Amino acid sequence: MSEKEERIHKVIMEDRKLLRITGVRKVSSFDTKEIVLDTVKGGLVIKGQDLGVQNLNLENSELEIEGQVDILSYLTGRSKESSGRGVWERVFK
């Protein structure tokens, strides 16, 4: 995969029941109500009902999710490093 292809991030939704996402670096957490991803364009939170990861191919940076999608939200304004330290600093302070 070329460097340019690795930076492309697409979200394709069909009828709020199927999501195809490219540019996925990793799945941070998931359950039937929330999936948290790290993409080439930052963190992405998907909320809904009966969510499930149907296809995950990190080699090609692709993810497919099925279920009722209610919210797509990008995490902005913080880097992973600073937000992670801030949480732990508050817990142990």
Q: For residue range 21-69, what is the model confidence (pLDDT) as tens digits?
A: 999 999 999 999 999 999 999 999 999 999 999 999 999 999 999 999 9
CA atoms within 13 Å, Cβ hemisphere of 61:
19
Q: Among the CATH numbers 2.60.40.2000, 2.40.70.10, 3.40.30.10, 2.60.120.680, which is that of 3-92?
A: 2.60.40.2000
Please report the pLDDT score of residue 83 as a whole number: 47
Question: Considering the entire predicted model, what is its pTM?
Answer: 0.76
Tally Cβ neighbours within 10 Å of residue 56: 15
Please report the pLDDT score of residue 7 as a whole number: 78
CA nearest neighbour of 76 among 42, 40, 45, 28: 42
Reply yes or no on whether the pLDDT at 2 is more than 60.
Answer: no
